[in-house]
Copies of this chain bind each other. A is one copy, B any other.
């Protein structure tokens, strides 16, 4: 007699990771069905177990957890060494609960797992093993930033982080601007918060005056804002970016 396999649920987290706003009502950012699903899942694979427990406490305050937090299984995703690929065997073992009939929740520290965040390799392993994958609706800082930017949303690319080295970064910025000019594609990128100012400075230093740059700061937070202007406008009316809040940068060649 065999149990039907469980599914792998991709559970969105809030976008306020690491900020003071992390105590705001979770039901203001996540739909009710996500809270209900999160509350019933007993097996989790997480980017970080500690922040997952904090997430589940916030869920519990709105929809009581089916089992106490201490009774849940929370396993962290293996962190592959830079450039190395995670072992496929390790990942397959993380899916064992699904083979035994349990649904599994996959969660990262902010937003959707697998999007600008770890998790894609486990999702790939689930597809390979014939385990159903269900992505639950939640906020994505990239898409919110793109919508709020007013830049081209019919064609866009997320390119991750730019190089830290100044000359490599300058070259990459010019390459992305040339690509954007040729294709009309909006280019989105992120940076470690303490380098927000440095990235904005580099964009303004190396982009053409008519290229539009948009900065979305602390999306979904009460203090969040989006500003879009061309490079010459940014230079004429500079602002200082916070060093402790996630920012999404986007640009479209003018």
The verdict on A105 contacting chain B, using a C-beta distance below 8 Å, is: no
The verdict on A58 contacting chain B, using a C-beta distance below 8 Å, is: no
User: With a CB–CB cut-off of 8 A, which chain B residues contact A17?
Assistant: none
A126–B159 CA distance with the chains assembled, in angstroms: 27
The verdict on A156 contacting chain B, using a C-beta distance below 8 Å, is: yes
Q: Which of A67-75, A165-173, A201-209, A220-228 contacts B (4 or more CB under 8 A)?
A: A220-228
Q: Are B220 and A137 in contact (CB under 8 A)?
A: yes
User: With a CB–CB cut-off of 8 A, which chain B residues contact A224?
Assistant: 134
Interface residues of A in 110-157 (CB under 8 A from B): 112-117, 119-127, 132-135, 137-140, 142-157
With A133-B226, A135-B219 as contacts: A127 and B112 at CB distance below 8 Å: no
Q: How far is the CB of A252 from chain B (nearest CB, A)?
A: 10
Q: Which of A28-36, A43-51, A76-84, A238-246 contacts B (4 or more CB under 8 A)?
A: A28-36
User: With a CB–CB cut-off of 8 A, which chain B residues contact A157?
Assistant: 155-158, 185
Chain A positions 93 through 112: 1 when the CB is less than 8 Å from some CB of chain B, otherwise 0:
00000000000000000001
The verdict on A27 contacting chain B, using a C-beta distance below 8 Å, is: yes
The verdict on A197 contacting chain B, using a C-beta distance below 8 Å, is: no
User: With a CB–CB cut-off of 8 A, which chain B residues contact A124?
Assistant: 150-151, 228
The verdict on A60 contacting chain B, using a C-beta distance below 8 Å, is: no
User: With a CB–CB cut-off of 8 A, which chain B residues contact A145?
Assistant: 135
With A142-B143, A156-B158 as contacts: A120 and B151 at CB distance below 8 Å: yes
Q: How far is the CB of A148 from chain B (nearest CB, A)?
A: 4
Q: How far is the CB of A42 from chain B (nearest CB, A)?
A: 21
Q: Are A148 and B134 in contact (CB under 8 A)?
A: yes
User: With a CB–CB cut-off of 8 A, which chain B residues contact A33?
Assistant: 25, 27-29
The 9 closest A-B pairs by CB, nearest first: A123-B150, A137-B139, A124-B150, A28-B33, A157-B157, A135-B148, A135-B144, A115-B153, A140-B143
